[in-house]
Amino acid sequence: MTMFLVRTAARTAVRTNSCRSFCVSHTHLSDRKGLVLGVFEKKEEEEEGTLHLTEAAAGFDKSLSGKLSELLKLSGPALKNGKSRVFYGLHKDFPCVAVVGLGKNNAGVCGTENWDTSKENIRQAVSAGCRLLQDLEVSHVEVDSCGDAQSAAEGAVLGLFQYDQLKSKKKTKVTTQLHGSADVVGWEKGVMYGEGQNLARLLMEAPANHITPTAFAKTIEEKLAPHADRVTIHKRPQAWIEEQQMGAFLSVSKGSEEPPVFLELHYNGSPDSKQPPLLLVGKGITFDSGGISLKPSASMDAMRADMGGAATVCASIVTAASLKLPVNIIGLAPLCENMPSGKATKPGDVVRAKNGKTIQVDNTDAEGRLILADALCYGHVFNPRAIVNVATLTGAMDVALGSAAAGVFTNSDWLWEQLHRASVVTGDRVWRMPLFQHYTKQVTDSQLADLNNIGKYSRSGGACTAAAFLREFVKAPHWAHLDIAGVMSNKDEIPYLRKGMSGRPTRTLVEFAAGLAHNG
């Protein structure tokens, strides 16, 4: 056993971020393992200094004759949720051990927050511990299940992700595994959930000149290649789009030199080949300049992620295939750029959607609803059991809910309950929004056509009028529109996601599909 440090006058204490590090020596840590262990908060009635180690942490402490718990008591105030400390030289197999605060034990589902607090605490704590070890250039980390191996795996995988593909200097690549054998199945499931969201983050974060419609489709095709026995992929070219008379979609794409692609994915996971599919539709604007109704230049670069709907939908299908979920899913992603040019649609132009309805395009920056309109019309040919479309659709959604939750507009109480239940499990929340006829009247009151793409009062209830517009292209009794504009990126709101594009709500879509697979 190597040296360990107790509290003495001679100790060296190093503070980094929110953690206190007790250092002896950490040379060549990149060649060794790190370990993340959890500790719960004491109960209110208990004395200061009372420790509640997780089962794995208690076992580790016992193997050290109580030295870990001794150090935790000596090292300062009890660890709060998401805070961490690192100890060096405690164990010959683990040169550094990160202990993370998990909050209250068995906190459970919080009706006010609409999530499972225990799961969120685990994700946050494990993420903090893994990042701390990554900063120390430790390349392999074992992780305590903390009582929920899936949530622990999600925290590790999501917390360690950073888009640095185009940088010369990259973060240390860290491999993670479950410490012990508490719940290997749950851990592997959590890894797949986390990797699915990271795929969406990868697509959303990449520059628009690297993820064009064609490159997007190719990336998804490569990710689904290992599941060729269960997945069929159609990359529909412009000629096919024209044959389908998708005039609304074509009106958006024609301003760009990049050809549009209509990506169609069929995942056949159910042993019952006649099972109606779940239909997922994602907005795939790989760059949104606003078209002739040009956006302000400030922050326009973020519009490389305006294909977040398509990214989350396709990533969720990749994840469903990895999990081998016993459900049939069809994914549709109309992919194109929205650019200004001599060929671009002009404000006031009238276009015709696949279902024959004419649309007066008064603002070319309200383009997402146009490409979704044609995709929704087409999707009905599969007679789906439910339709869920996902889109970074309106700034108004960001104003309404911020980054706390994705807005859900739906004509089905059953579908809302399924989505809400899934979001409580994942912590990636949804919130129901209104679909009143009040909003429908605003988009159907058009001077030149059947519909107006921005409605009568463009600034009032913008997310609601956009949803009402989409509803005009839906006949299915179970349909939901998720406006994810507010959750597109992360600053510091979600502690286990680094700053950047969030990939939300991929895990909620996967959990929702899993719920349909297992509960019917």
Distance between CA atoms of residues 502 and 42, nearest Å:
33
Q: Taking phi first (over 0 means left), then psi (-120 to 50 degrees means alpha), and beta for anything else, what does residue 66 get?
A: left
Active-site residue, 295 included = yes
Distance between CA atoms of residues 320 and 315, nearest Å:
9
Distance between CA atoms of residues 46 and 289, nearest Å:
58
DSSP character string of 208-243: TTTS-HHHHHHHHHHHHGGGTTTEEEEEE-HHHHHH
Distance between CA atoms of residues 60 and 491, nearest Å:
35
DSSP character string of 504-516: TTHHHHHHHHHHH
The one catalytic residue in 7, 42, 73, 295 is 295
Nearest to 416 by CA among 432, 400, 435, 397: 432
Q: For 237-371, where are the E strands, in sequence order?
A: 261-268, 278-282, 284-288, 328-338, 349-352, 358-361
Q: Which two tokens stand for residue 120?
A: 């969120």
The one catalytic residue in 369, 471, 504, 507 is 369
The enclosing H or E element of 452 equals strand 451-452
Active-site residue, 170 included = no
State how beta strands 386-391 and 358-361 pair.
Answer: unpaired
Distance between CA atoms of residues 73 and 62, nearest Å:
15
Residue 163 burial by CB count (10 A; 0-12/13-18/19+): exposed, middle or buried? middle
Q: Which two tokens stand for residue 220?
A: 């998804």
Task: Give ∠ CA 331-286-310 in degrees, rounded to 5.
Answer: 20
3-state class of 451 per DSSP?
strand
Residue type (1 letter), 215 = A
Give the catalytic positions in this structure: 295, 369
